[in-house]
Structure 1
Amino acid sequence: MTLADCEQVAEIRIRGWQHSYKGLIPQAYLDDLDLTTETARRRSHFEQAGDGVVNLVAERSGKLVGWSCHGPYRDAELPTREAELYAIYVHPGHLSQGVGRALLQESTTRCTTAGHPRMLLWVLKENTRARHFYEQTGFTPDGTEEPWEVGGATVPEVRYVRTLGDS
């Protein structure tokens, strides 16, 4: 990913949220997602990314269709050598075409090469499509659950984990 990709990544993220989180988080929040604001947020995150943070994009016919971001696990209270998948989104028009799987495979390969023993991620508890995807790619829930505040609602997230270096 480059800084020039931030607007397309922002659109992928917004469309991904609006598609994947419909009925899971407040609709008003999803309706208010703004491309200009999200593009600025993506640029800021990209420019301020710390050591080991990697943004990847997937492209088809010259257009970005997916984005993922991974790096060191973010729990400051529990410093580990583990990696975290911070985000993975595929434009809804390109779901179930291998884009997400390719992005996740590249992320896990890079994290394995970097010496991370495991990769963790957080997913909305009720997001059954995403949970199935992660389970099909070797991730399992580890029993950890946390509330997440979004759009004035609290929704539970569950943590998944995968040992790296396996298939």
Structure 2
Amino acid sequence: MTAGDSDEVAAMRVRGWRHAYRGLMPQAYLDGMDVAAEAERQRARLAAGDGSVVNLVAEAEDGTLAGWAAYGPYRDGEVRTGDGELYALYLPPERIGQGVGRTLLTEVTARCTAAGHPRMLLWVLKENVRARRFYEAAGFTPDGTEEPFEVAGATVPEVRYARPLTG
């Protein structure tokens, strides 16, 4: 991902949240998400990054972005551990089911394996059944850890998924 991709990635993330999280978090929050502000955050993160967070994009044949993933070391609060973590994986809703998400997840998993991470972790909304099935089909399993995610005054529980990686 480059800074030039920030606008498309931001639009994809906002559309992805509105599609995937409808009914799972406050609609007013989803409706209030601002693509321009998200794009600025994306550009700022890229500019300030230390290289530990990697952003990947999948490009469609027509040159538009078909997916985005971000990964890096697992964050346990402020401490980074030896594990890898998938921070984000979003597609435009019309790309769901076309293999783009699977391709991005496979690439992230391969890169975390090559980096020597013993396992890969990710967080998913507890009630996001579609995403949970997707990750389970890729070999991830819930490890029993749950955390509340606060969104616009509402608590939305997340569950952590893990997958051992082999070299």
Structure 2-normalised TM-score?
Answer: 0.95
Partner in structure 2 of residue 31 of structure 1: 31
Q: Which amino acid aligns with 1:18?
A: R
Q: For 1:8-52, what per-residue CA distance to the aligned partner results, in whole angstroms no more than 9, with x for missing partners? A: 000000000000000000000000111111101111122222332
Q: Which amino acid aligns with 1:55?
A: N
Partner in structure 2 of residue 16 of structure 1: 16
Q: Distance in 2 between matches of 1:87 and 1:49?
A: 16
Q: Distance in 2 between matches of 1:88 and 1:109?
A: 15
Q: Distance in 2 between matches of 1:79 and 1:103?
A: 23
Q: Which amino acid aligns with 1:35?
A: V
Please tell me whether the aligned partners of residues 73 and 80 of structure 2 are also in contact (alpha carbons under 8 angstroms).
Answer: no
Q: Distance in 2 between matches of 1:10 and 1:82?
A: 27
SS in structure 2 of the partner of residue 80 of structure 1: strand
State whether structure 2 residue 52 is matched by structure 1 residue 74: no
Question: Over aligned residues, Cα RMSD in angstroms?
Answer: 1.3
Partner in structure 1 of residue 65 of structure 2: 64
Q: Distance in 2 between matches of 1:34 and 1:79?
A: 29
Q: Distance in 2 between matches of 1:78 and 1:97?
A: 36
Q: Distance in 1 between matches of 2:119 and 2:40?
A: 31
SS in structure 2 of the partner of residue 165 of structure 1: coil
Segments of 5+ residues of structure 2 without an aligned counterpart are: none
Identity in percent: 61
Pairing 1:121-132 to 2, within 5 Å after superposition? 121-132=122-133
Q: Which amino acid aligns with 1:53?
A: V
Please tell me whether the aligned partners of residues 124 and 160 of structure 2 are also in contact (alpha carbons under 8 angstroms).
Answer: yes
More displaced 10-residue stretch of structure 1: 116-125 or 78-87: 78-87
Partner in structure 2 of residue 111 of structure 1: 112
Aligned residues: 166
